[in-house]
Structure 1
């Protein structure tokens, strides 16, 4: 708000009086306290606006002097008129949820860009099961996001393998995310005992005798499965707990019935403080008719 004195034969342009207000630009002088556009003095270069003001204010009453009160009109300045000041915020993606890179102006708060980082939802090993052969196993790891794009090793994630991956057991592969990703994911693969095959199946009276070549290395014992169905529906299982055993007689069978028999090895190992059995694949099926 400003007061301007006007005297006869003395005139100056009121726009030469420019007030200052932080964060705002001075637009001009208005005759109304509301500083509406309608009351903005368009041309201050001559005294015509004073006559108009007098007419409006005094209902065409002409007097010799006036005490005129004017009001400054302001427009809020754009602090980023000459360009924004970008500031990036990263929300890392995980294996369960998407992340985002959001760039905002640190001055005015306007969002300048937003990029979605797709979650790393497709994590798999090239192999999850191996057969023991005394050699260390290192399955390859593939990590993709939810749109099928492959993530980059040592940029988006690192991989740590369990040590001594030679013997029968379960082994962890740990994926630790980095960069635009966060979190840790584990995948597991298994090394199984070597397959055991039946060397001989002999029929007796209501019994059968099965023999195999013992497998003492990385083996705890054996399981023999037998039944009258080739698909082994309702079959029974006999456990042989010593790995040096080479044969087993199964009795109390039905006479004149055809039986199907197979065998597999197992090893008992510790997995997270629990004892579990890891099995080899089944041998070829042998069939025999009981006497």
Structure 2
């Protein structure tokens, strides 16, 4: 039976008369009423959230049906109505609300029933209504009776003036993980402001596998249901005004994990260090580390973060290798091993060196030590006759100091190499710092035409000296052409005007006793490079050297081209007199360059050239060009 609130009325006639007199004197203000600013969907969502609760809003008679309606009024933001349930057929309505007798209810309407104290409820659909204090249950219930099928007569509805509904906004979607192993539970949560229903679609490897409605925008399933693969999902969030879709969310169901790298922070540690070994995993939920010691075996097996750390002193001096077993709910895999060593002092056999064995005061002394497993290096330098002059730290095994800070003298040095476990002294090296030398020079032997000279350099500060060879001056020749006679050949005489040395070349045949004209020589006495020679009225133009360039054990000569000649003759030697010189004949007048190879390296060579012409079976030469020289590389 429906239990309704009783109206308590005093039947004292005097009290009624007194109240009537007072009421006649008091003006009762009109109720201020307000329209609601929510939608019907939002109102029903609120009612659904009250199911199972006992609402006693006015604190009287427990949870009655009108308590649900008063709470409903509170949620809608309008003043409560007074009276029993049956009084909702006549009591004041908020502005804009309607009371319709016998109406077909709509979502969010207040259902009013008469008979006795009456009954009130809230309508969602014909067979979905919400009641409190029905069937002797004093809490909010979702009832599947048809709204007009109660024993209490249906009267009609009170209909709020709902706010115009708008489509849901601000859709969002997220998963509880980016990836899942086969033992995980996939959870997806979607939300949109104003949404009252949700519909979900899930795709695996591009194919739709799920399409269904989802209560409150939350979905979960076992990752093993559809197995390994790449998934994507989205939700459609709806209310009576429309629908909005969330973005896509992507996730994967993966197999056994993998890794990209495993490494130690260093290849060696001393006993004060912390050993650090790391693994970069892919889709792993955990890892075990195993560490083996050479000659001992397994010394560590334990669960670890992706980076494992342990005091080196707990492991002790020795050589080690380590690996990880990485795993998830789908399986596991072992990494490759990484090796490291724990030492008690730097490795023996440090190599000490000096940049030079002899420095000058202008130099910078540089000492270095090559050693493994050392964290610091102290250099100690002793001076002969003095003792210790330097005790200092090296920078990464290198120590530098200005030689002038040490001064001239003989020195020995060594390093003390160490780490936090221990150290030792290296072997000693020696070096010397000498004078920076300021030399003066004088010639102690003058060079001659074909003999070298000597220049001596003496330091003004320490008397150290050395000598240097001066190149021979070379001959300065005066050329004289001797004409042939019928009994003697002709030639050119080259005589040095400095020392008198001479030699002959450019021989011509003796004159024949015939009717041929005399041989005439035309010598160009000017300073020009080109001169002419005539035999039997045949003229031979001379040439000149344009350039001489040096190469590795070679020289390259270029000369001026001369028309009307048969070719050229080059002569080269290591002296200006061309004594023991060699000749090269070029049998083409169009060739103007020749490289002479297989010479001595870094040697000065002298070179000259002349033209020739063959006439009447006789070879006629021009005058030699000016001499040029070049030193080979």
Shorter-normalised TM-score: what interval? 0.3 to 0.5
- When Rg is computed on C-alpha atoms for both structures, the one with the higher figure is 2
The TM-score with structure 1 as length reference comes to 0.35
The TM-score with structure 2 as length reference comes to 0.17
- Of the two structures, which has the highest relative contact order with CA contacts closer than 8 Å and spacing of 6 or more? 1
By percentage of residues, which structure has more strand? 2
